[in-house]
Amino acid sequence: MHIHLIAKREVTFGFRNPWSYSFLALFTLFSLGLLVIQSQSFLDGYTYSTGTMLNLILYLLPLMTMLLSAFSLTAEKEEGNWQLLSTYAMTSTSFLFGKYAGQAIVLITIVCFGYGLSGVAGVLLGKSFSLAALLFLLVFSVSIILLFLGMAMMIGALSKNRWQALTMGVAVWFFLILAWPTLLISALSFVPYTWIKPLLQLATFFNPAEFVRIFSVARLGGGSIFGPEYYKWMYWIDSPLGDVLFVALSLCWIAVTMYIAKIAWERR
């Protein structure tokens, strides 16, 4: 297995990539903006400010993750690195999981730096995040990164070049983050009433941003905003096995997207 070697190489390349520093600057500015929002309302339970912060993170992190990681994978094709690496005794599974691990380290470092700097700025200004709030935002952000990294690997494997990756990444981001509620409501209006609830819950499994958001809001005590359609979700999220089921669901999502990425990568 060469996963650790590929991951180490990916971390090196990731921190040499100017795009990483562009996103680092953007996310740091973004986290300072969250600090301003938080200073108006402490992160204590689900509030309007909390919802705004979670939505802002959902707008930025999936796009940042998919572009950085998909570009990294398509660059291996365009620059001929994969053709060279494939001459060694290394499987495509090791290669893709190594890329996944390396990109995860780079992106989590960017997020930790942004939150860390905003935490320091908050302490200096006397309006810092509480430790619990910082940990909650960090866990929420890392969950988004790890789930969308699988999708980024899939997009990178399916794309022939960076332009295709850019087009596909933006299209997927637009569909899952911006257009999802409108399209879902439109689609469900054509099915019988008794099918709406099970179809709504089933559709949520296909959008990682949505089930991470529902889990996080429920953990903050705001699960009632999702209505009776998600009553059973609130029950299992609040149960002692809620965290275990969420991790299991996330691992299933990552495994499925990485498997599709592997099939697409080998066919290319």
> What pLDDT was estimated at residue 45?
61
Alpha-carbon distance of 76 to 13, in angstroms, equals 11
Share of the chain above pLDDT 90, in %: 21
Q: Is pLDDT of 11 > 60?
A: yes
> What pLDDT was estimated at residue 153?
92
> What pLDDT was estimated at residue 42?
54
Residue carrying the six token digits 């959902």: 58
Q: What is the pTM of this model?
A: 0.87
Among the listed residues 112, 114, 108, 206, the one whose alpha carbon sits nearest the alpha carbon of residue 149: 108
What would the pLDDT profile of 193-242 be if each residue is shown by its tens digit? Answer: 888 888 888 888 889 988 888 888 887 777 677 777 677 777 777 777 88
Q: Is pLDDT of 258 > 90?
A: yes
User: Residue range 35-59: average pLDDT?
Assistant: 71
Structure tokens at 141: 């952000």
